[in-house]
A and B are shown apart, each in its own frame.
Chain A
Amino acid sequence: MSPDAAIDVSNLGKSYGSVTAIRGVSFTVRPGEIFGLLGPNGAGKSTTLRILITVLPPSSGTATVLGHNVTTEADTVRRLIGYVPQERAIDRFLTGREHLELLGNLYHLPRRELRSRIDELLQLVDLGAQADRVAKTYSGGMKRKLDIACGLLPNPRIVFLDEPTLGLDVHSRLRIWEHIRQLRERGITIVMTTNYLDEADRLCDRLAILDGGVVRAIGSPMELKAGVGGDSVSLTIGDRDADVLHRLRDGVMALPFVRDARPTSTGLDIRAESPEKSLPAVLDVAHRLNCRVEGIEYHRPRLDDVFVAHTGHAIKGEYPDDGEA
């Protein structure tokens, strides 16, 4: 355990009967960073988060938040953290201000301090004008802002956010990202779950990739992308048959700059170190084997590549625009 870690998670496991939600989860969150738990639904992100905010007891392993054990010192942990649950956790019959008042009383803030703190927070999340309207009239983005204000109410040193931009439109997402970055600037440590790759990439300082209840990789988005090794070249091949693709793969793999190549439904995905040298050679092999190359796509490694490299499959629902919106 590192003494100056904001959060230290060691070999954490949780199972419900015979179903294992997470196992062997270990990571450290540094003070002042935005730490992301990235993974598809059911990967164990929320389970991990809920153990850290003390509402779910772990089956095995330990977790400490600012040096306090989440099971044996739950009450201390609760005083030090703020929690921003998913947007649904709002009472539609209460106004924004009443939400904050209620929570302020649950954190036992003195009345006068509470009043000024609420005004300050409403200002911060830009919700002052709507503060006295009942929450059922709020848009998704406004609810999210209220959530964030609620999470900040106890003046926490660590804020936990569960899927902070799930189901929001593009504009609202950017606003929420901005708010989260502002929190980091105020010295607050952020732990958030997300299943959006672009969000993890652009917002998080460091990530733990979870899949099937297990941590597959940890690092900054840059480190993770570098770790994949090389850029990605996708070939689209016409008239593909398995045998030709197989020979193409073997031929490409034999090239010095190529790290990996795997057949896909449309052709071949290649990971190569320096594409300006490898690409001509790849095309040469294809030409020799009489493969009709219909398209070439080249890109620097993205977080999707990292995800595939560590889990063997693509994450579902990467962008809010496809499918969910």
Chain B
Amino acid sequence: MTLSHYRQEVLALTMRWVRRLSREKFSMVFTLVQPMLFWLIFFGSLFQRAADIQLLQVPNYMSFLAGGVVVMTVLNNGLAGGVDLLFDKENGFLERMISTPIHRTSVIVSRYLFVMTITGMQILIILGIAFAFGVRLATGLPGLAMILALGMLFGIGLTAVSMALAFSVKSHGDFFSMLGFLSLPMIFLSSALVPLSAMPGWMQALAMVNPMTWVINAVRPLMLTGWEAAAPHVALALVILALFDAVCLYGGARAFRRAIG
């Protein structure tokens, strides 16, 4: 296995994901548009009046929500990251791929490249929409890079969880019920929609063990306040994400090895 072989197979596999997405126009539009349309614009406008600006400590609800929507997008993309591999496993395409002399990791790496690229693009679009609604990035371009980096780091662990599930479940029904079970509670039991201080005590406790909360708490000051306020939160988020990714990648690697050697 030479590096050029590895590059050749990873590139070809990644192109396959891109082609699939581009052929599913309907699904592509919904994937790209859903988070900003539904969460940012609808949810943001809907709760503008209900939100207690005092408590949020930001000029309006949408600017508060934008950071949450960025991380929610990472969450949804990450958790859905294994879906295509699940279908490949079920219809035998995965077996066809691994009967060729490829390095086993190239399937995984191609999936990561694809999911991360899509997620990055979506984050940029969401921030663009937020910008149009008057949200200015307090930390400028370096802050933008940091937001992307945090999103990627969170996405790595989530995608690993999703792929591990895809390789382990017996049927895709199980997969999607688990996904539904994970996704909404992770959103509501985090600081995505309301600050922790607005939650009842038990919810706060649950939100504190949700890694998503810590990522959002770092992204939000990067967007709204500035480096000084953001730095400690960013540092904490990086540590938590390092741990989170380590655990998820370990579990993912085990599931992967069990499934396809």
Kindly identify, within residues 82 to 140 of chain A, every residue whose CB is under 8 Å from any CB belonging to chain B: 83, 85-86, 88-91, 93-94, 98, 101-103, 105-108, 134
Q: How far is the CA of A78 from the CA of B104 in the complex (A)?
A: 13
Extra 9 A-B pairs, beta carbons < 8 Å, given A103-B100, A154-B100: A55-B260, A85-B99, A89-B96, A94-B19, A105-B8, A105-B9, A106-B13, A107-B100, A108-B8
What is B's interface to A at a CB cutoff of 8 Å?
5, 8-9, 11-13, 15-16, 19-20, 23-24, 91-93, 95-102, 260-261
Are A106 and B100 touching (Cβ within 8 A)? yes
Residue of A nearest to B11 (CB): A105
Contacts A78-B101, A93-B20: A106 and B9 contacting too (C-beta < 8 A)? Answer: yes
Nearest A residue (CB) for B260: A55
**Chain A's nearest CB lies how many Å from the CB of B14?**
11
Whether A91 contacts B93 by the Cβ 8 Å rule is yes
Chain A CB count within 10 A is highest, among B92, B93, B101, B102, for: B101
| A292 beta carbon closer than 8 Å to chain B | no
Which residues on A sit within 8 Å (CB–CB) of B96? 83, 85, 89, 103, 150
Complex Cα distance, B23 from A108, in Å, reads: 26
Identify B23's interface contact among A83, A85, A134, CB under 8 A: A134
Whether B98 lies near A88 (C-beta < 8 A) is no
Majority-rule SS of B interface residues: helix
Complex CA–CA separation, A105 to B8 (angstroms): 6
Q: Is B101 touching A75 in the complex (CB atoms < 8 A)?
A: yes
Residues of A with C-beta under 8 A to B92: 85-86, 88-89
User: Which residues of A sit under 8 angstroms from B19, Cβ to Cβ?
Assistant: 93-94, 98
**Is A47 an interface residue when CB atoms closer than 8 A count as contact?**
no
Given contacts A89-B95, A108-B8, contact A78 B23 (CB under 8 A): no
Complex Cα gap A94–B100 (Å):
19
Does A54 sit within 8 A of B, measured CB to CB? yes
Is there an interface contact between B93 and A50, defined as CB atoms closer than 8 Å? no
- Over the window 9-38 of chain A, the binary record of Cβ atoms lying under 8 Å from chain B Cβ atoms (1 yes, 0 no) is 000000000000000000000000000000
Inter-chain contacts of B9 with A (CB < 8 A): 105-106, 108
Counting from the closest, the 6 A-B pairs by CB-CB distance are A105-B12, A89-B92, A106-B100, A78-B101, A93-B23, A83-B99
Q: Which residues of A contact B20 (CB under 8 A)?
A: 91, 93-94
Asked if B16 and A78 sit within 8 Å, CB to CB, the answer is no
- With CB as the reference atom, state the residue of chain B lying closest to A85: B92
Across the interface, B95 reaches (CB within 8 A) one of A55, A75, A107, namely: A55
B95 with A106: CB separation less than 8 A: no
24 pairs from A and B in contact (CB 8 Å cutoff): A54-B99, A55-B98, A55-B99, A57-B261, A78-B101, A79-B101, A81-B99, A85-B95, A85-B99, A86-B92, A90-B93, A91-B20, A91-B93, A93-B23, A94-B19, A98-B16, A101-B12, A102-B12, A102-B13, A105-B12, A106-B97, A106-B102, A107-B100, A108-B8
Choose among A54, A89, A98, A105 the residue with the greatest number of B CB atoms under 10 Å from its CB: A105
Which has the most chain A C-beta neighbours within 10 Å: B8, B9, B97?
Answer: B8
A53 within 8 A of B: yes
Give bound CA distance, A98 to B12, whole Å. 10
Q: How distant is the Cα of A164 from the Cα of B97 in the complex, in angstroms?
A: 18
Q: Kindly state the separation between the CA atoms of A54 and B5 in the bound complex, as whole angstroms.
A: 20
Give the residues in chain B near A134, CB-CB below 8 Å: 23
Looking at the assembled complex, report how far the CB atom of A223 sits from the nearest CB atom of chain B, in whole angstroms.
32
Min Cβ gap A129→B in Å is: 20
Q: Which residue of chain B lies nearest to A53 when distances are taken between CB atoms in the complex?
A: B99
Whose C-beta in chain B lies nearest to the C-beta of A87? B92
Q: In this complex, which of A54, A55, A98 has the most chain B Cβ atoms within 10 angstroms of its Cβ?
A: A55
Interface centre among A53, A79, A102, A134 (most CB of B within 10 A): A102
Q: Is the CB of A89 within 8 A of B91?
A: yes
Q: Shortest beta-carbon distance, A248 to chain B, in Å?
A: 51
Indicate the member of B15, B20, B96, B98 with the most A CB atoms within 10 Å. B96
Q: Are A50 and B95 in contact (CB under 8 A)?
A: yes
